[in-house]
């Protein structure tokens, strides 16, 4: 396929490179001048989108997505697929999809889970909202860039699935870090705690697959001085999106709201920016109840 790829940052560049490596013709554009291995360099977002079978975007937020969509939709060929892999607010995803459909395009919102490692290794999970025709055309690309794609329903539902998942992740990571800090103060060995919790009712992905305690469980960012696999500021962004959606939907999400407040404090006031979201553990280690 001929693919336009717009947004070649830490996630977009390896995704585009994997598509090029698989033999697709990839034309990439990034406003900061970043490139992707194997992709040609387009002069603009519209140039990358021109005559493409599929245009993929990986962008920072909904406002930028809307601006890029306004530029590229008129340049795209009727019947092409607009595949947005950004994590943005549900309202922006649905508005862009509506504009794309009006222009005769298929629209998919397909945010990802798996982080930079998943983007590089082609093991991402895609949460997809949009029409069946677009999904059928994009499926071979999902198979190259990831290991799983789940069709979650109409446009916007991919974003809904992503923010619900990451609200759970933020809450459970905080609970896991709190529990390790409490175990320390009660004199409970961390390995013993892991051995109990990881095989008991406290089991979670945060504990079992991404343990925030260095030297415990499978290797994780905790074993690399909390250099980010998933940065705390990205978790803050996703928790903010979840709370915005909860407000729009009149949903009661007190744990999600508490997690947002804690990550905001961690990132903005406690030097959490640039650290992995599991670095909440050393934060709790140094704090008492006051």
Q: How far is CA 141 from the centre of its chain?
A: 17
Confidence (pLDDT) at 289: 87
Cα separation, 34 vs 137, whole angstroms:
27
Q: 82, 89 in Cβ contact below 8 A? A: no
Confidence (pLDDT) at 115: 85
Closest CA to 56 of 99, 127, 4, 106: 4
Question: Which tens digit of pLDDT belongs to each residue from 131-146?
Answer: 999 999 999 999 999 9
Question: Which tens digit of pLDDT belongs to each residue from 60-91?
Answer: 999 999 999 999 999 999 999 999 999 999 99
Cα separation, 122 vs 15, whole angstroms:
7
Parallel/antiparallel/unpaired status of strands 81-84 and 25-29? unpaired
- Active site residue: 21, 78, 148, 162, which one? 162
Cα separation, 253 vs 265, whole angstroms:
19
Q: Cβ atoms within 10 A of the Cβ of 83, count? A: 27
- The pair of structure tokens assigned to 135 is 């999904």
Those residues of the chain that have pLDDT short of 70 are: none
Confidence (pLDDT) at 150: 97
DSSP conformation letters of 69-91: HHHHGGGSPTT-EEEE-S---HH
Answer yes or no: 162 catalytic. Answer: yes
């Amino acid at each position: 396929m001929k693919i336009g790829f717009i947004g070649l940052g830490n996630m977009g560049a390896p995704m585009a490179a994997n598509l090029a490596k698989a033999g697709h013709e990839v034309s990439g554009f990034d406003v900061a001048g970043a490139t992707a291995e194997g992709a040609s360099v387009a002069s603009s977002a519209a140039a990358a989108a021109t005559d493409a079978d599929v245009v993929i975007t990986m962008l920072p937020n909904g406002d930028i997505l809307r601006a890029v969509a306004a530029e590229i939709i008129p340049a795209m060929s009727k019947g092409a697929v607009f595949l947005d892999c950004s994590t943005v607010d549900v309202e922006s995803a649905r508005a862009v999809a509506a504009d794309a459909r009006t222009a005769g395009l298929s629209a998919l919102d397909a945010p990802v889970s798996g982080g930079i490692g998943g983007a590089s290794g082609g093991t991402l999970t895609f949460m997809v909202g949009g029409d069946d025709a677009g999904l059928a055309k994009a499926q071979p690309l999902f198979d190259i860039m990831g290991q799983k794609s789940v069709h979650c329903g109409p446009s916007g539902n991919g974003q809904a699935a992503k923010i619900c998942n990451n609200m759970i992740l933020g809450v459970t990571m905080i609970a896991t870090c709190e529990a390790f800090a409490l175990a320390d103060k009660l004199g409970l060995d961390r390995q013993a705690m892991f051995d109990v919790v990881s095989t008991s009712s406290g089991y979670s992905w945060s504990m079992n697959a991404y343990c925030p305690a260095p030297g415990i469980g499978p290797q994780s960012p905790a074993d690399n001085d909390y250099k980010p696999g998933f940065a705390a500021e990205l978790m803050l962004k996703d928790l903010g999106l979840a709370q915005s959606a909860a407000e729009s939907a009149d949903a009661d999400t007190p744990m999600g709201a508490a997690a947002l407040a804690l990550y905001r404090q961690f990132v903005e006031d406690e030097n959490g920016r640039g650290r992995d979201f599991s670095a909440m553990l050393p934060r709790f280690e140094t704090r008492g109840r006051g």
